[in-house]
Every structure is written in structure tokens, then in C-alpha cells.
Amino acid sequence: MATATFRIWRGDASGGDFKTYTTEVESGMVVLDVVHRIQATQANDLAVRWNCKAGKCGSCSAEINGRPRLMCMTRLNELDLSQPVTVEPMHTFPRMKDLVTDVSWNYKVKTKIKKFAPRKPDAPDGTWRMAQADVDRVQEFRKCIECYLCQDVCHVLREHHMHDQFIGPRFLVYTAAMEMNPLDTADRIGDLRDSCGIGYCNITKCCTKVCPEEIKITDNAIIPLKERVVDEFYDPLQRIFKIFR
């Protein structure tokens, strides 16, 4: 059986440092398995969030060798085990303890976005009719597992800390899922420009790169929303038209 060395960030809001652990590893293991093994044998109080262990709940987000990833979906054979593997908490959110960060900001942001508001049902029994082709693109956005890795990597949040002016890629995807839902009647375009700060995104596509669900966040969600904002507020012909309306 091989051994591997892991450098795991230990500490809390007041500070901390990497601690080195050496443990046995087997083929097929993922980083979360190693963290669990260290927790069970060497560091009982090591703090880590996890749930499904299958890439479906988005709890075990961390930065592995500097890259935002899900620990449960990062296999050891993708990593160079001749070097120590570093595991640290996401940078964009306040540190709480060890690998656990305070992600409560995300929950607050979501409540500010206008909720889904369906049109009247299409049939007398209270149901709607929608073609699969019309819901395909919405279903892509609804794959999101809210791991917040896109928020973590987004430089507007990570480097510039504009949490009070920009909702981040996750919530642009969330908004897109409602805006493009054929049943929805609410209008969020003004909010996208103002309170959501969509203009801060300069489409570097980092969010798309780290998305474990492979949602094309920038191309399919953010850019079409930006286009809607432009059509609504910045189209010169529309502006003239509106003056005379």
C-alpha cells in the first residue's frame, strides 16, 4: 500500500496554518476519503463538510492544490502524489474552522431575487404544457448543486470582495433558470442591472471552468442575461421608441 502526504489547512477565523499528515492510500480513493481517514485516525476534531460523497450535494467544496474542486470528485490518480497535496478552504468566504467556511452570504443573496411566478395554468386541471426542447436549457441550469465553487473562483468576489454589489455566477444561473422558464412571468431585468450587478462580470469564464456539473455558466446563462439587460436599457432604437410610446 502506498502512502501520500497531505497538507491540510487547520485553523479558524483568527488564523491558522497548514498541517502535514501522512497516510496510507489505495487505488480509487478520492481526496475526501483521505481527509476522512486522517480525521478518523489522526485528527478527530478536523472540521469538514460533506454529505453525499457522489458529487450531488455540493457540500465538500475546497481548494485542492490551489484549484476549487469537490473533494468527493477528485481522485488521487489525477494528482501528483510525489508532492504533498494541499487542501484548504475556499478563499472567497470567511473561514470558520479548518476546511469549513461561512457560506451564509449565499443564502441571503438568494432571498433577494424575485421568486418564480408562473403564468396561469394551460389546462383546466391546473397543469401546464411545455415542449422538452423549451425546457432543456432551463434544466441545464437546474443541475446546479450549489457548491459555490463558481462564487469562490469569481474574481469580482474573490479579489475585489464586491459581495454587496454583485450576486456572483451561482445566482446569475439561478436567475437565468427562472428568466428562461417558459412559465415564468416575473421581470428581473432591471434588478440584474442594478442590485445584482451583472455588469461586473467581464466574462473571464473561470466559473464555467470550475463547475463540477459542467454548466456553461458564462455562455448559456450570463451572456444571454447581459443581452437582455442591453436590449432593455441600452438599445438606442428602443430608447427612442420608448420616448414616443
Partner 1 sequence: MAEYQKFEYDVLIVGAGGAGLRAAVEASAAGVKTAVLSKSLLGKAHTVMAEGGMAAAMGNVDDRDNWRVHFADTMRGGQYLNNWKMAELHAKEAPARVREMEAWGAVFDRTKDGRILQRNFGGHRYPRLAHVGDRTGLELIRTLQDHGIHQGIDFHMETTIVTLLKDGDRCVGVLAYDRERGRFKLFHAKAVVLATGGIGRAYQITSNSWEYTGDGHSLAYHAGAALLDMEFVQFHPTGMVWPPSVRGILVTEGVRGEGGVLRNSEGKRFMFDDIPENYKPQTADNEEEGWRYTQGDKNARRPPELLTRDHVARCIRREVKEGRGSPHGGVFLDIAWIKERLPNSVEHIKKKLPSMYHQFKQLADIDITQVPMEIGPTTHYMMGGVQVDAESQMSTIAGLFAAGESAAGLHGANRLGGNSLSDLLVFGKRAGEFAAKFAREHGAGQVNNEQVEEAARWALAPFDRGPAGENPYTVQHDLQAMMQDLVGIVRQEEEMERAIEGIQALKARAAKAGIAGNREYNNGWHTALDLNNLLTVSEAIAMAALIRKESRGAHFRDDYPEKSKYWSERNLRITKGADGHPRVEEVPVKEMPEELKQVIEEQSK
CA–CA distances in Å: residue 86 to residues 9, 44, 83, 109, 124? 8, 19, 9, 30, 58
The dihedral built from the CA positions of residue 77, 170, 106 and 14, taken in this order, carries a sign that is positive
CB 86 within 8 A of CB 58: no
The answer to whether 203 contacts partner 1 (rule: CB under 8 A) is no
Among 146, 152, 179, 191, binds partner 1 (CB under 8 A): 146
Binding residue for partner 1, selected from 16, 65, 73, 79, defined by CB under 8 A: 73
Rounded CA separation 135/199 (Å): 26
The distance of closest approach from Cβ of residue 73 to partner 1 in the complex, given in angstroms and rounded to an integer, is 5
228: phi then psi, degrees, rounded to nearest 5: -65, -40
For CA atoms 129, 134, 140, 141, the dihedral sign is negative
Grouping H, G, I as helix, E, B as strand and the rest as coil, residue 122 is coil
95 binds partner 1 (CB under 8 A): no
State the minimum distance, in angstroms, from the CB of residue 91 to partner 1: 18
Q: Can you tell me the distance from the alpha carbon of 67 to that of 90, in angstroms, rounded to the nearest whole number?
A: 9
* C-beta closer to partner 1: residue 39 or 238: 39
**Exactly one of 9, 18, 50, 233 binds partner 1 (CB under 8 A); which one?**
50
Q: Per rule CB under 8 A, is residue 124 in the interface with partner 1?
A: no
DSSP assignments along 18-53, one per residue: EEEEEEEE-TT-BHHHHHHHHHHHT-TT-----S-S
Task: Rank residues 78 and 235 by Cβ distance to partner 1 and give the closer one.
Answer: 78
12 lies in the site for partner 1, by CB under 8 A: yes
Nearest approach in angstroms of CB 142 to partner 1 is: 6
For position 53 contacting partner 1 by CB under 8 A, the verdict is: yes
What are the cell numbers at 45? 476534531
The only residue of 7, 19, 91, 97 in contact with partner 1, by rule CB under 8 A: 97
Chain residues that interact with partner 1, rule: CB under 8 A:
12, 26-30, 33, 39-41, 44-59, 73, 75, 96-98, 100, 102-104, 107, 110-111, 115-116, 118, 121, 125-132, 135, 138-139, 142-146, 174, 177-178, 181, 183
